[in-house]
Amino acid sequence: MHIVHTIAELRERLSPFKRPAFVPTMGNLHDGHIALVKQAKPLGDVTVSSIFVNRLQFAPNEDFDSYPRTLDADAERLEAAGCNVLFAPREKDLYPEPQTYKVHPSSDLSSILEGHFRPGFFIGVSTVVLKLFSCVYAGMPTGVAAFGKKDYQQVLVVRRMVQQFALPIDILAGETQRAEDGLALSSRNAYLNPVERLEAAQLAKALRALGESAKASSTPDLPALEAQAMQALARRGWKPDYLTVRRRDDLLPPQGPLAGQPLVVLGAAKLGNTRLIDNLEI
């Protein structure tokens, strides 16, 4: 595996190829990232991953400075998974000047749920993803990029961006990888202390319970069920931002009878100092 740090080095390394399979990450890799690499690899003629902690998607009070940075260990895992090229730019490589041109995704998707509780988050995500795409796919006729479904809203935002900018990139959404107790794998799980780690599996259980309650009636009172689910988590010491049932295609509340509608249950809640997100398609 080749490790490159500049855009010029990356483009030179990729110049013999025509369809990169790309997995962008912020590092501190877990089995979910590695699963994406393995799923993407057969779909391209070269496998690329990036590691870059993107300042643009962090609010001033969030964990940019403390976000785990484990480049050497990450590189070993990527090489073992069959990754061919690792793009690990420094901030001055990707943002050599202030990034004043930014992508503003449609507010109907980017201002709800995660976008509501993390204002500007999807502007930062969309901007860095588009810039990484321009680095990896410059001059390429086509490509594929893999993202994990744990960040469900992010996948929708990126897919819409690719569609609206007519980018020749197929977006692969990989299934959420989980620990044995059901906790969705996340780099931020490392922030949990041992007691919190045991409790953390309750978020996935709460989502499953909310989904089952929603399916128990053809016309459930979703706001009431969602409020009950949040109250149940709060009684366990969590600080929930949302637990909600939404339509999969646009993350808006479902209308009419639920039977036959592709839905997803999404949740975000803080346990101690760690904010966790998860979702479950129903």
What are phi and psi for residue 134, nearest 5 degrees?
-65, -30
Contact 44, 18 (CB under 8 A): no
Q: Is 30 a catalytic residue?
A: no
Active-site residue, selected from the candidate residues 2, 5, 30, 33:
33
What whole-number distance in Å separates Cα of residue 64 and Cα of residue 56? 9
C-alpha 207/C-alpha 245 separation (Å) is: 9
Catalytic residues: 33
